[in-house]
Amino acid sequence: MRRSFKIVVLAKQVPDTRNVGKNAMKEDGTVNRAALPAIFNPEDMNALEQALRLKDRFPGSKVELLTMGPPRAADIIREGLFRGADGGILLTDRKFAGADTLATSYALSMALKKMNPDIIISGRQAIDGDTAQVGPQVAEKLSLPQITYVEEIGELCNDKFTLTRRLDNGVEVVRTPFPVVITINSSAPACRPRNAKYLMKYKHARTLTEEQDNEHNSYLPLLSLDYLRITEWSVSDVGGDESSYGLSGSPTKVKKIENIVLQAKESRRLTSEDKDIDELIKELISLHTIG
């Protein structure tokens, strides 16, 4: 029996927190988010690769991305298209703003109900929060099983997938039916590069918002081809309970943000000169810290 799947990849645009350099700091010592590049969350890239591999293995399958964010997060969908995805949806609405993981999962799950996929794949966690909560919460909201920390999607047998999970202390192989939510670890294979053919094809893909933006339509031709339209959904498109979205749907609140002022200890400054190092070692030996 030939099978094909409808696969949705959950992907997030995140500030690149891995290298918060000095130029990303404001005068007052806080982080200047605007100075950080917005990137495709790394583990969501691993997730995209797993989805594309399923599409390669099961011809006729379709891969779509689903992302929630501001209008510029349309970049996430384009990046997916350039690498072999078939389409994507951007959930964007002021009413989604201020969402914690629970309100985010609610929004994603409402969109997923409309998309109705067989397999949902996301990265294990996003680097701007490292919470790893959205995958399991989406699964719960859709009453689906969740398989987290997955490194490999293996064989399909009797309508069940064999998945390998990579945990701190070893490996676990599980078998699951679908629909299912799978979260992928960074230890899974990296994503394939952009494909020149798709880059040409989707170069002008954009959302309606982008098209209405002056900067864009001044010199680009009007969209005549359907596949170049990136779909945007707002709260009214996905329906559901308005108060469950965004800030009002978020049980967790930030009470306080403190900037770090490192407490200066009484520290002794030393140079790399032999004399300094020698004295230090003698002192540590006499304190029985070493030796």
Ligand X SMILES: Cc1cc2nc3c(=O)[nH]c(=O)nc-3n(C[C@H](O)[C@H](O)[C@H](O)COP(=O)(O)OP(=O)(O)OC[C@H]3O[C@@H](n4cnc5c(N)ncnc54)[C@H](O)[C@@H]3O)c2cc1C
Report the site for ligand X in 200-229 (rule: CB under 6 A).
none
CA atoms of 101 and 151, how far apart (whole Å): 23
Q: Which is nearer to another protein, 225 or 270 (CB)?
A: 270
What is the total count of residues that contact another protein (CB under 8 A)? 80
Q: Select from 112, 105, 37 the least CA-distant residue to 75.
A: 37
CA atoms of 233 and 111, how far apart (whole Å): 8
Report the site for another protein in 103-142 (rule: CB under 8 A).
105, 128-137, 139-141
b vs e for 230-252, b when ≥16 Cβ sit within 10 Å of the residue's Cβ? bebbebeebebeeebbbeebbee
Please enumerate in sequence order all residues whose Cβ is within 8 A of that of 167, keeping only pairs 6 or more positions apart, or say none.
149
Rounded least distance, CB 207 to another protein, Å: 27
Rounded least distance, CB 272 to ligand X, Å: 9
248 binds another protein, rule: CB under 8 A: no
Which residue of 4, 25, 94, 225 would you call a contact of another protein, by CB under 8 A? 25
244 binds ligand X, rule: CB under 6 A: no
Rounded least distance, CB 41 to ligand X, Å: 12
Residue 73: count other Cβ atoms within 10 Å of its Cβ: 20
Site string for another protein, 78-107 (x = CB under 8 A): ----------------------xxx--x--
Which residue of 32, 35, 113, 130 would you call a contact of ligand X, by CB under 6 A? 130
Q: Peptide bond before 70: cis, by omega within 30 degrees of 0?
A: no
Q: Which is nearer to ligand X, 130 or 140 (CB)?
A: 130
Under DSSP, the state recorded for 129 is T
CA atoms of 258 and 278, how far apart (whole Å): 40
263 binds another protein, rule: CB under 8 A: yes
Rounded least distance, CB 96 to ligand X, Å: 22
62-68 vs 180-184, strand pairing mode? unpaired
Rounded least distance, CB 14 to another protein, Å: 11
290 binds another protein, rule: CB under 8 A: yes
Q: CA of 150: how far to CAs of 18, 94, 217, in Å? A: 23, 33, 42
Q: CA of 229: how far to CAs of 41, 77, 208, 219, 223, in Å? A: 23, 11, 7, 17, 7
Which residue of 16, 17, 75, 192 would you call a contact of ligand X, by CB under 6 A? 17
Task: Specify the stretch interacting with another protein by CB under 8 A; choose among 45-53, 87-95, 170-178, 192-200.
Answer: 170-178
Residues in contact with ligand X by the rule CB under 6 A: 17, 130
